[in-house]
Amino acid sequence: MARENTDLPFGDAFSINQLDLDDDEPSQLVYVLELAKKHEGDPDAFDDAIADRFDMQPYRAKNVRLGISDAGYQIMNDSTEFEFTEFGEELHDLIDDEDELYDQFAVHILQNLHGQKVINVIMDLRSEGKSRKFDNIRKELEDRYELHIDQTSNHWSQMRGWLYKADVIQNLRSPSYDINWTKIEDLTGANSDLILELSDLTGEQQAYLRALAIIDPDGEIEGTKVREVAESEFEIEIDQNSIVGNVLDPLEEAGYLTHDKPTRGKPRVVEPTDKFESEVVSPLLDDLADYVGAPRSALRKSFAELLEELDEGTKYERGVALEVLAIKIGRLLNLDYTAWRARGRNTSGNEVDVVMDSVDLTFQRWQIQCKNTKSKLSIDEVTREVGISRRLKTDVILIIGREGVTSDARRFADLTMSDENLTIVFLDDQDIMRLDQSPEHLINKLQGEARRAKSFKRLGDGQMVEVSERMVSDEDEEEVEETDVDDLLDNEQPSLDEYTNDGEGEDEDEN
């Protein structure tokens, strides 16, 4: 239930700027923890010590105590009892290792005190070209997560300061925020993979379970389809001749799935169990729902249900369905969500644009664009995405146009792929409708498109890969080269400046 004033922890005087210490003294959190241990059980003595050291008025010193108590950062219990919580004891045990101390404090803030949600909102505001001033952050938290923050609250400023101490945020006052995603992933494992520890399973078994979680079937599914996704997305080879003994039987014994071969000539089917649902899928989807700002219930919908909502839903329902469609496509490709450029619920369910990354062996950036329109994708729409990709350093553009793509647009894509290190892939309704029963279709389609793109790539100046026939004619080049990419990007420039950190935003309240 929302607290009276704010759902973020009470900070106030418990702030790195308010607790100004000399260079030869411990850092702020260490100092407060040592003082709390010295005066544990005696809140008045703690207040007096804080007031004396920092020359604070009594009410300000009391606010430091409130900031580390239940309504604040939960280091101490009820402020009148003033005893360490279990988490507080764990922090105190780390006072001799400040790096680990601030890391664990940051994990607590991100996972338990809504810090990750604030980070997500900031990144989405940036990708949408909106100012990251406090009022916008506050409104987005209310709309997306139903988190209430009072208009006069400065608690985010204090939280930002403590995250700065852990290098999660790499500046204190710049409106760009400079968020260190590598640090966040190191601390929390915040990505679209399974967060659970499945250390007792072999690599083949883990890959198979992860693929099953990505597909998230509603009932039985052919085991070969799961194997194909596992092999493609997790770069592992599962021997079909020994899959029953090495993979399926152990996973069945562990309680994650059941498997059966109905009749001779029919493929073996697998079905996830309640344990798989509760221990694998539910935690994964809870994390993903918070991370991307989409309702958990929507993430469980099938592709067919999403297409139906795109046709018959309200504007809000169409917007959410379009967002989830993009995320589910990305999950099938084992991509990590990075940020929204355009959200479906902000475009009346007509368009969504999400940036996702792959960081397995090499870094690869994907730009996924979904259009919910009754017309084919035009050359202008494809040109716009190509122009954006140059600013975002995109490697792959995946465009979902429900009715397909015009011949001019496809020719432009072909020409672009022949000249640039960029792959452009198109999906339509027919492709999406196959994914519930045949999730491997997406991988097969992309592999086919990759082979097609390879046929365009130049080997050197004036050299083309030899193909049976040239797919882009001279006439096509002349027609397509008349398209002015710069003109089509004019409307996108503000959001691109924000996303690539070239633009200037508005300052927020200081800590």
Instruction: Classify residue 177 by burial, with Cβ atoms within 10 Å: 0-12, 13-18, 19+.
Output: buried
Q: Does domain 203-280 have CATH number 1.10.10.10?
A: yes
3-class DSSP assignment, residue 180 = coil
Q: b/e for 89-125, b at 16 or more Cβ within 10 A? A: eebbebbeeeeebbbbbbbbbbeebbbbbbbbbbbbb
SS (H, E, C) 426-464: EECHHHHHHCCCCCHHHHHHHHHHHHHHHCCCEEECCEE
For the 293-472 domain, the top CATH level (class) is: alpha beta
Q: Which two tokens stand for residue 396?
A: 């792959």
Q: How far apart are CA 340 and CA 385, in angstroms?
A: 14
Strand pairing report for 396-401 and 364-371:
parallel
- Cα dihedral: 129, 132, 137, 138 (round 10): -120
Instruction: Classify residue 28 by burial, with Cβ atoms within 10 Å: 0-12, 13-18, 19+.
Output: buried
C-alpha of 40 from chain center: 40
The set of residues, in sequence order, having a beta carbon less than 8 Å from that of 468 and lying 6+ positions away, is none
- On whether the CB atoms of residues 417 and 456 are closer than 8 A, the answer is yes
- Note down pLDDT in tens along the chain; length 511 residues: 344 567 888 888 998 888 888 888 889 999 999 999 999 999 999 999 999 999 999 999 999 999 999 989 999 997 678 999 999 999 999 999 999 999 999 999 998 898 988 887 887 777 556 677 778 888 888 877 778 887 777 788 889 999 999 999 988 777 667 888 778 877 876 443 443 445 567 888 888 988 898 888 888 999 999 999 888 877 788 998 899 999 999 999 989 999 998 877 788 999 999 888 877 777 666 666 666 666 666 677 888 999 999 998 888 888 888 888 988 888 888 887 777 776 655 655 567 788 888 866 577 889 999 988 889 999 999 998 898 888 888 899 999 999 999 999 998 998 888 888 888 999 999 999 998 888 888 888 888 877 777 776 655 444 443 333 344 445 544 554 555 555 555 555 555 554 444 444 444 444 4
C-alpha of 504 from chain center: 24
Sign of CA dihedral 241, 247, 252, 258: negative
